[in-house]
Amino acid sequence: MRDDPSVTALVTRARNGDKLAWDEIVDRYAPLVWSICRRHRLSSLDTDDVGQSVWLRLVEQLNALRDPAALPGWLATTTRRECIRVLRAANKQEARSSNPPDLDTLPDEYAAAAEQELLTAERDVALREAFGALPPRCQRLISMLIADPPVPYAEISSTLGIPIGSIGPNRRRCLNRLRRHPPLAALISAESHTTRGGDRYGQSVVDR
C-alpha cells in the first residue's frame, strides 16, 4: 500500500471527532465504494445497503485501523465482502429450488480482479484530487475535452475565448500540471517502478 500522508491526517482528525475530516473521507472514497457495487451489478437498493454497512463499519473501526494509509484497501475489501453478503442473501430464495451459484468461490475468482480494482480506485481518487486542484481555466478546458460526446474545438475556442491553435498547447500544459500534483505524482512514481519499462519514463515524466 502506498503511503498517502493526507489519508493518514484525515483519519487521525476523524478519530478525534472532526466531522469535516470524516466528510472529506466519504467524499473521496464514496466513488470507490459505489463503483465496486456497480461492478457487482447490485440494484440501487442493495448498493445503498452496502454503502451504509461499509461506512458504519469504518466508523466503528476508525480507532482500530492499524494503518490509516491503507484505508483505500480496507474500504475496497470491506465493500466487496458486503457485496457478496448482499448477493448471497438475494440468492437464498433460489437456493432450495435450483443450484445456486457457488458464491464462496467468488472471492477467490475475484482476487486478481480485486487487486486491479483497488489500483484503479486509488488511481481515480488521485486523479480526481489532482483535477480538483487545477486552476479553474484548466478545469474548464479539461472538462470540455473529456466530455462525452466530445466538444468540438471551435466551441471550446469560443467558450474559453482562446484561439483553436492554443487549445493543444494549453491541454498539454494542464495535463503536465495534473501529473505534478503531489499525490498523483507519488502514485505515478510508485506505479512506474512496478510496471515493466517504468524506469525509462517514471520520474522523468512527472518532473519535467
Partner 1 sequence: MASQWWIDDDELLATLGDAVRTARDMPANFAEVGKATFTWHSIDADLATLTRDSARAEEEVLASARSEPANLRSLTFTSAQLTIELEVSSGALLGQIVPPQAGRIDACAASGHVQTAVIDEIGCFAIRRIPEGSFRLHCQTVSGASVITNWITL
Binding of partner 1 at residue 43 (CB under 8 A)? no
Residue 145 DSSP one-character state: H
Own/partner long-range contacts of 10-15 (Cβ < 8 Å, ≥24 apart): 11/62, 11/65, 11/68, 11/71, 12/68, 14/62, 15/62, 15/63
Q: How far is the CB of 30 from partner 1 (least distance, A)?
A: 4
Q: Which is nearer to partner 1, 3 or 23 (CB)?
A: 23
Whose cell is 447490485? That residue is 42
- In Å, how far from its chain's centre is CA 118? 8
Residue 169 in grid coordinates: 498547447
Binding of partner 1 at residue 53 (CB under 8 A)? yes
Of 54-93, which residues contact partner 1 (CB under 8 A)? 54-56, 58-60, 62, 92
Q: How far is the CB of 192 from partner 1 (least distance, A)?
A: 7
> Candidates 3-11, 105-113, 158-166, 191-199 — which segment interacts with partner 1 by CB under 8 A?
191-199
**SS3 of 82-100:** HHHHHHHHHHHHHHCCCCC
Nearest-angstrom CA–CA distance, 4 and 20? 18
Task: Using CB under 8 A, pick the residue from 9, 12, 48, 135 that binds partner 1.
Answer: 48
Task: Using CB under 8 A, pick the residue from 124, 155, 199, 207 that binds partner 1.
Answer: 124
Q: Report helix, strand and coil shares of the chain as percent, to nearest 5.
A: 80, 0, 20
Binding of partner 1 at residue 144 (CB under 8 A)? no
Residue 27 in grid coordinates: 467524499
Contacts with partner 1 by CB under 8 A lie at 14, 17, 19, 22-23, 26-27, 30-31, 33-35, 44, 47-49, 51-56, 58-60, 62, 92, 95-96, 116, 120, 123-125, 127-128, 131, 142-143, 145-146, 148, 171-172, 175, 178-179, 188, 191-192, 195-198, 201, 205-206
